[in-house]
Chains A and B, each alone.
Chain A
Amino acid sequence: MYTFSNKLMTFSIILMVLGALGVGYGFMTSHKSLDEVKTILAEEASEHGSGHAEETTHESATHDEHADEATHGESSHSTTEKAQHDDSHAEHVQKQIANRPWSALYVAAFFFMMISLGVLAFYAIQRASQAGWSPVLFRVMEGITYYVLPGALIVFAIALWAGPHLFIWMDPEVMANDEILQNKSGWLDKTWFSVRALIFIAGWSLYRYFSRKYSIAQDDASNIKNFKKNFRISAGFLVFYIYTESMMSWDWVMSVDPHWFSTLFGWYLFASMIVSGITVIALIAIYMRAKGYLEFVNDSHLHDLAKYMFGFCIFWTYLWFSQFMLIWYANIPEEVTYFVTRIEQYNFPFFGMVVLNFVFPFLILMNSDYKRVPWFIVLAGIAILVGHYIDIFVMIMPGTVGDRWYIGIPEIGSILLFAGLFIFIVFTALTKAPLLAKGNPFIKESEQFHY
């Protein structure tokens, strides 16, 4: 049995408190009056001479994302029109500034939820494929998936609570003036959004609940009935998961930019999810092994996890590039704006994450010997996690805060808050059952696994 060390518990609580302070600070400083926003804009224009030119390019790039802005994208001639234009520009910027703490909170909440959901999918794959190497890691995976239910509920709650701060289609005023969104209102509807979200969360949590139950029951069982049940529900869950994950990606992430769509988006998000999930399994397994709780986990298990990290990094890059290159190549205006805003306003994070998520782990984890060295895996793992946070950041932020983004106190506060919560829940869950699933028929093979 694992006992949650006091140090780690204090650490996670400190993270949550610091994070909550940061989030609170973010919300307190994001309410700006129109005059304040105008002062900020005037200051920015005078600070760097070319500032105003940047403002105009930014506006032409983002104006079709927000329907309320669409009426004044053209250049104005008379002074009254100019004044009106400045006013609506200031209003637009005011909204972006107000959206920032919501988006920061949402990105971090989604990121940690996504990790545990990725682990749940990976766990189901291990069960359904009857993998012989991984049963010694099942309890670690089960511990991480404890976060699925609270994490997903938090994401859903933030989505509803933030409403139009995140999803402009939740704003009735925007909906009334936007024909494109009206045509999508059969799907993009707050009630349906909630019903779907609850079905997704219920399905994932039910699988998690029963799979864990059978897994624990198998420990002292005299036959393998529970193991077989787990095999069956895992196969069923994988079918359910791949449908709901796809729809979840449209609802929770893609609808932040409701004028844009992409067919491989669900897969792309899945790749992010599974690679971060496997990375966290590896990091927690390394931590617990170093503390002496997982002496049955050997270097070959780490080697296998690192291989999965390596492989899914490449899979993520393949999907990232496929989505980008198809849209870049065809350059159809209605879909290319998605990447235009990202390349113009998020150039460094947009391309930087490809280095973190692909180039660095690719070179580090290619060597078979390095995949057995814990600190190499930790090094690659940190790059992957940072990279995938930025990945989610670049999915959400351009649609909500536009060029008003910065990784400052609200963003870091949100990360700390959810990191603390994640550590607290996951490590509490790990104390609840023995760390070796001893009734599993593959456990002997897994303990002796070597590559």
Chain B
Amino acid sequence: METSKVIHAIYNDDDVLMAAVKKVKAERYHIEEIYTPFHIHGLDKAMGLAPTRIAIVSFMFGCVGLIVAVVMMNYMMISDWPQDIGGKPSFSYIENMPAFVPIMFELTVFFAAHLMVITFYLRSRMWPFKKAENPDPRTTDDHFLMEIAVHGNQSELESLLKETGAVEINIVDKEAH
């Protein structure tokens, strides 16, 4: 199996990590991944990650939910069996619409929320029994880990990362995926 070398720089403070990310970016190295125990405000910006599009997807799922609700109730209550239930006007959808709004609202929210969460799981590859991709268990507690690929520039990288305040630097063989 082909392997490649990566460098793991470990930090123990999020402010130091932020400064390090900016420095490493300024030196034009590509950061493969950063593992942190909690969300660090502004890290995505410092790394230059593209903004998420999950809100747009959620809006579209909401529209689908609304359409499902309208089509479903129009079929059931207006076209399939337009019964007189307590004098409610079932001649056309618009005439009885106020009664359908609670369902239209709930289905919109239901679709927008659940499908967005499922999209999030799929895009971030999370599911039960998934093998955890954790290079160092301390990163779930109080350490921060920056991973940079090594392409024959190991010593320069090491000295740069030392300079940025890394408390530990490891060279790891990593299975390519």
Q: Which residues of chain A have a CB within 8 Å of any CB of chain B?
A: 321, 324-325, 328-329, 331, 366, 368
Looking across the interface, which residue of chain B has its beta carbon closest to that of A321?
B101
Minimum CB–CB distance from B53 to chain A (whole Å) comes to: 12
Instruction: Show 12 residue pairs from A and B whose CB-CB distance is below 8 angstroms, ordered by the A residue.
Output: A321-B98, A321-B101, A324-B98, A325-B98, A325-B99, A325-B101, A328-B98, A329-B98, A329-B99, A331-B87, A366-B59, A368-B55
Closest to B98 in A: A325
Give the secondary structure class of B's interface: helix
A329 CA to B95 CA, complexed, in Å: 12
Interface of A is mostly: helix
The chain B residue with its CB closest to the CB of A325 is: B98
A328 to B87, CA, bound (A): 12
What residues on B are CB-neighbors of A331 within 8 Å? Answer: 87
User: Closest chain A residue to B55 by CB distance?
Assistant: A368
Closest to A363 in B: B59
| Chain A proximity mask over B67-105: 1 for CB below 8 Å, otherwise 0 | 000000000000000000001000000000011010000
Please, which residues of chain B bring their CB within 8 A of the CB of A329?
98-99
Known: A328-B98, A329-B99. 7 other contacts (CB 8 A): A321-B98, A321-B101, A324-B98, A325-B98, A325-B99, A325-B101, A331-B87
Inter-chain contacts of B99 with A (CB < 8 A): 325, 329
Compute how far the CA of A366 lies from the CA of B87 in the bound complex, rounded to whole angstroms: 38
Please, which residues of chain B bring their CB within 8 A of the CB of A368? 55
A328 to B97 CA separation, bound complex (whole angstroms): 11
Chain A residues in 8 Å Cβ range of B59: 366
A358 to chain B, nearest CB (A): 12
> A368 vs B87: C-alpha distance in the bound complex, in angstroms?
44
| 120-137 of chain B: CB within 8 A of chain A | none
- Min Cβ gap B60→A in Å is 12
How far apart are the CA atoms of A331 and B89 in the complex, in Å? 12
* Residue from the set B87, B98, B99, B101 with the largest chain A CB neighbour count within 10 Å: B98
A385 to chain B: closest CB distance in Å?
26
A328: B residues at CB distance < 8 A: 98
Q: In whole angstroms, what is the CA distance A331 to B98 when docked?
A: 12
| Smallest Cβ-Cβ distance to B87: which chain A residue | A331
B77 vs chain A, min Cβ distance (A): 14
Report Cα–Cα, A358/B99, bound state, in Å: 19
Q: How far is the CA of A325 from the CA of B98 in the complex (A)?
A: 6
Q: What's the minimum C-beta distance from A403 to chain B, rounded to whole angstroms?
A: 22
Measured CA separation A402–B98 after assembly (Å): 25
Chain A residues with CB under 8 Å of B87's CB are: 331
A329 to B87, CA, bound (A): 10
Q: Which residues of A contact B55 (CB under 8 A)?
A: 368
In the assembled complex, the Cα of A167 lies from the Cα of B130 at a distance in Å of 70
Closest 4 CB pairs of A and B: A325-B98, A328-B98, A329-B99, A321-B101
What is the minimal beta-carbon distance from A19 to any residue of chain B, in angstroms? 38
Chain B residues contacting A321 (CB-CB under 8 Å) are 98, 101
